[in-house]
Structure 1
């Protein structure tokens, strides 16, 4: 399969490298020039797994303006706030038969992708995969090989032959895909997880395991889930798990799967990049308000995260001076 991955960050690199390893023709289209230059200079991407066995994987990388090939599948893996700019920059190589797949954190990118391709050619979903970008062109795959999980779902909720082919390639790449037919339910399941783990671990500067080890973690998790479920149900979401099942998934992922991991939101914070909180907790707040509800805990977390971003920026400025 001919694949173009837009965004050579942590997750874009992991998807692209794994799919390339099983025989797909993968190109990286990188809008962020420092990353593009680093990968070109190195002749590829340095890949580690759990901080060990760093090795160079040769890859092809292009700026959007340089890329003129015709991929069957485009995988969008920029940050949510960069999706619109990236899709516009890459629209010239998205053909009338190209599918676009997104497993980005938060909710919002599908509305951007719809400007360029119809719903019939959009595959969304979620990634339960921990990956760290140590530096531009240097990525660390967290967790044992084959331990990652993905869920894919057509926006139309009607899987077609090409989607089944994508699922097959994900299976060969060890990404353990599950094909779902509940679009909103699939996205909201990861949204709720991120609204707890990403935000709280970032604010408190702790790992996922340290969070669930806190004696009040279960009650705090349930409080945030309750608000999320009320907002989601009002917005027409048919949840795939009960509230208690969702809490157990969060606890399992944090204590058993990735206890030492710090989520991507934390990585953005410490590196002075804007976080995706407005597309995670902020999306829940927005959905609640649309239906005359409140999500006060999530609203507070949004405010606190933006305050932490500002403090981090001030510290960075002071350090530079």
Structure 2
């Protein structure tokens, strides 16, 4: 690592909404390099990077461009103490192959992506430095060419490891909640369980808060979560979710009448009024979604185990149809989507 007086050198691979938000928060406390595409980096070069937490003007941070290193290729990894991998799950293998020739044995790599196996994919390509799994539970929106706003709350969780200490310290100095755990598999499964909501929100087109206050849409999520819980229990994993209720009760809570749900889930509902999921953003921008590592993962695991997962399977099909339809995609009401998933279960 760096000398005690030198700032931690952090390279973000895949500087999208999450990577830019974290880079902006960390830049006052670390030497930050963002590796990304020109359409993301060029506006930052022009006006600097601004990050917001949605908690008021006092938490708005502007980082001049000259305080960041911006690059389209990952050669800067050769100087990094910490490498944060923030690419989409489908890009993990290619991104790892690109940065690993430059990786120092003294560094640590942290995967902050969706999916159960993204960090395993990084590990498959890295043999010179430790690779830790992590999750980012909050959503981030790009609200301007070089402005990124966190639209929901949550605490970053990552594998406990001695080399994680410097990153944990700098995250805390930047007021980014973080903790480490020795049960990361349970946390990763819990993140998937919570993120099954993303596809339902994307199909509805409603902002997250409005979608979560629609009981029929919550029932759709509950169908998927119930299937996921059965699959996870079958493989011996008890998911850890970032709410007070145990994972097995999430489907029951999602089915509750909205006034009761509003009371029990007050923390979950603390999201920006216009906040959306990353899957919805992908549909809007015509990009492939991460449905394969969410409902798609549940459907695949269920198939291997001989368990039914008709709701997850149908959601995968509907997201694929939405990807193909582009702007002409259907915006599903809660009633229509719940009826569609119920029919899928009856056919199974």
The corresponding residue for 1:96 is: 105
1:306 to 305, 308, 320: 320
Deviation string, structure 1 residues 28-73 (Cα, Å, up to 9, x no partner): 111x232233333x15324345498677522211121553632111
Looking at structure 1, the residues matched to 281 and 251 of structure 2 have their Cα atoms a distance apart, in angstroms, of 24
The corresponding residue for 1:45 is: 49
Where 2:176 maps in the other structure, the secondary structure is: coil
| 8 A Cα contact 2:143 2:149, kept in partner | yes
Q: Name which of structure 1's ranges 278-287 and 172-181 shifts more when overlaid on structure 2.
A: 172-181
**Displacement after TM superposition at 1:289 (Å):** 1.4
**Displacement after TM superposition at 1:296 (Å):** 1.1
The corresponding residue for 1:290 is: 304
Alignment of 1:159-308 (within 5 A): 159-196=160-197, 198-240=198-240, 241-244=246-249, 251-258=265-272, 260-308=274-322
Where 2:215 maps in the other structure, the secondary structure is: coil
The corresponding residue for 2:346 is: none
Where 1:132 maps in the other structure, the secondary structure is: strand
**Displacement after TM superposition at 1:87 (Å):** 1.3
**Displacement after TM superposition at 1:80 (Å):** 0.9
Alignment of 1:13-32 (within 5 A): 13-21=20-28, 23-30=29-36, 32=37
Looking at structure 2, the residues matched to 264 and 70 of structure 1 have their Cα atoms a distance apart, in angstroms, of 31
2:157 to 151, 155, 169: 151
The corresponding residue for 1:319 is: none
**Highest CA radius of gyration, 1 or 2?**
2
User: Normalised by the size of structure 2, how large is the TM-score?
Assistant: 0.78
The corresponding residue for 1:81 is: 90
| 8 A Cα contact 2:151 2:271, kept in partner | no
**Displacement after TM superposition at 1:205 (Å):** 0.2
2:73 maps to 1:64: yes
**Displacement after TM superposition at 1:180 (Å):** 1.6
Looking at structure 1, the residues matched to 220 and 250 of structure 2 have their Cα atoms a distance apart, in angstroms, of 15
User: Normalised by the size of structure 1, how large is the TM-score?
Assistant: 0.84
Deviation string, structure 1 residues 236-293 (Cα, Å, up to 9, x no partner): 3232333215765994454234554111111111011111111111111111112121
**Displacement after TM superposition at 1:98 (Å):** 1.9
Looking at structure 2, the residues matched to 73 and 84 of structure 1 have their Cα atoms a distance apart, in angstroms, of 18
Deviation string, structure 1 residues 69-128 (Cα, Å, up to 9, x no partner): 321110000111111111111122212222111221223311221123359812212222
Tell me how many residue pairs correspond in the alignment: 303
Are the structure 2 counterparts of residues 109 and 135 from structure 1 closer, same or farther at C-alpha, using a change threshold of 3 Å? farther
Segments of structure 1 that go 5 or more residues without pairing to the other structure are 154-158, 316-321
Segments of structure 2 that go 5 or more residues without pairing to the other structure are 1-7, 241-245, 255-260, 330-348
